[in-house]
Amino acid sequence: MRYQNVCLETLAYTLPEEVLSSDEIERRLQPLYQRLRLPEGRLELMTGIRERRMWAPGTRVSDMSVASGEKAIIGTGIDRSLMGMLVHGSVCRDQLEPATACRVHHHLGLPAKCLAFDISNACLGLLNGMVEVANRIELGQIQAGLVVGTEDSRPLLEATIAELNQRTSLTRSDIKTAVASLTIGSGSAAVLLTSRALSKSGHCIRSAVARAHTQHYRLCEGDHAGTEAGMLMQTDSEKLLEAGIETGAMTFADLLEETGWKPTDVTRSICHQVGGTHRKLMLESLKLPAENDFATFPWLGNTGSVALPSAMAIASEEGFLRAGDRVAMLGIGSGINSLMIAVDW
């Protein structure tokens, strides 16, 4: 997918105030740690994540998406009447029906002719939303569109901690599938895209490529496991890491072919924020230097679909992204799906 008329006008984010450290999670897991004689500090050592954030109990996902969307719109000064599409792309939603995008659309005061719908694709939902909006802009169907999403880690974290403490039959080998669930954090992000004619930023999307290596769909599965258990996720982290790196490398090769770039042409990269090992191996496989990559996972954890766009928003805010940079958005999610976007900053 190549674009000539699409600009990434702005990114915005909203973070929870409550901080949950990896040390605190281990304190809450003392029944498990004592029974299996697990060393303290293990969680941060394995993942590179020292803390993550959580919304207050009862927080409505759409409220945070509205907050992020409002920041994006105000930040650009774009007239709301020009918005032609709103996509809500996170895993977390208010309910199954109607689309969470409907409430966000209403509270943002977007026009009736602005399409509003949800996209769900694990950690790639917001990036998939970006491509949907970009395609509409490139075709001349709309002038601007907004992609928003909010992930709430509290239900999964609390259910996982309770399950690990209560199931006394678990062995050290058994708990490996739950480690990824303990890395999850909460956050919200928004991405506003416009046509070149409407853009003030000039951050142009050059290309997007995607791969679906769905033979690996069983490596990470999450669902509601019943009223008492709540949300639980099972992840084969080792196999997911291996297959994910392979999928990412092939997708990046596609991106280079699509853009005509070489790895050395990429001056900045933003990976999906999984953890320390994933980032190291992914960048090494793509031949991208770590100093040119921006990471938030040490203090935000893995915030799912909002991880990459929120990291990019923070990178922009902190001046990490500079005019003239060639930026690679390196998205990857369970499935395994990968979606990467090239941006001329």
What would the 3-class secondary structure string for the chain be?
A: CECCCEEEEEEEEECCCEEEEHHHHHHHCHHHHHHHCCCCCHHHHHHCCCEEEECCCCCCHHHHHHHHHHHHHHHHCCCHHHEEEEEECCCCCCCCCCCHHHHHHHHCCCCCCCEEEECCECECHHHHHHHHHHHHHHCCCCCEEEEEEEECCHHHHHHHHHHHHHCCCCCCCHHHHHHHHHHECCEEEEEEEEECCCCCCCCEEEEEEEEECHHHHHHEEEEECCCCCCEEEEECHHHHHHHHHHHHHHHHHHHHHHHCCCHHHCCEEEECCCCHHHHHHHHHHHCCCHHHECCCHHHHCECHHHHHHHHHHHHHHCCCCCCCCEEEEEEEECCCEEEEEEEEC
**Cβ atoms within 10 Å, residue 35:** 11
97 classed as catalytic: yes
From the list 123, 132, 163, 220, the catalytic residue is 123
From the list 17, 97, 291, 318, the catalytic residue is 97
123 classed as catalytic: yes
Amino acid at position 19, single letter: V
CB 189 within 8 A of CB 322: no
Q: Which two tokens stand for residue 231?
A: 């949300």
Determine the length of the chain: 345
Interior CA angle at 179 toward 280 and 245, to 5°? 30
Q: Distance (Å, rounded) from C-alpha 297 to C-alpha 286? A: 19
Q: Distance (Å, rounded) from C-alpha 179 to C-alpha 46? A: 9
Q: Which residues carry out catalysis?
A: 97, 123
